[in-house]
Amino acid sequence: MSGTAAEVLRLLAERGGTLAVAESLTGGLLAAELTGVAGASRSFRGSVTAYATPLKEQLLGVDGELLAARGAVDAQVAREMAEGVRRRLGADWGAATTGVAGPDPQDGQPVGTVFVAVAGPDGDTEAAALQFTGDRSAIRRASVAAVLDLLAGRLRKSSE
């Protein structure tokens, strides 16, 4: 994973871009992966770990009606988390993770259901719906890898 985190940070630094992340099920693992790369402070602004559903609305600006209707494990929630952290932390890019690491289902979603999203400076926000297997730790690590892959892909495209 750290290879992808290093690539993301290198691509951001080459453009003078910045990143902020919003995490739920990953609980800070994404921020830890990024800050584990030397020189991360050039591009990484910070993170919000909004583990409790109400914090997604209060800190990140996720629509409360959306949360009430669909719960926190949802593609649109992931999009709004990425957009909200980008806006609130003043970054060019925002990335977000939300999902169910287990051991129990949540919001009617089975364990391993994950949504990741990336919001860019072009106003385009992309989300991916994923299904992982394994224990809680494996699902959380796979979620970090998935959002970093999505972000790296978007950064590569934006440089073309």
pTM over 0.85: yes
* Torsion sign over Cα 113, 88, 49, 28: positive
Residues 30-59: what's their mean pLDDT? 98
Q: Can you give the pLDDT at residue 1? A: 57
The pLDDT assigned to 160 comes to 63
Residue 19's pLDDT band, with cuts at 50, 70 and 90, is: very high
pLDDT at 49: 98
Angle (nearest 5°) at CA 18 between 14 and 20 = 145
Domains in the chain with CATH codes: 2-158 (3.90.950.20)
**Which percentage of the chain shows pLDDT scores above 90?**
96
> Angle CA(92)–CA(119)–CA(96) in degrees, nearest 5?
110
* CB-CB contact of 94 with 83 (8 Å): yes
Structure tokens at 127: 């989300």
pLDDT digits (tens, 9 = 90+) for 112-159: 999 999 999 999 999 999 999 999 999 999 999 999 999 999 999 987
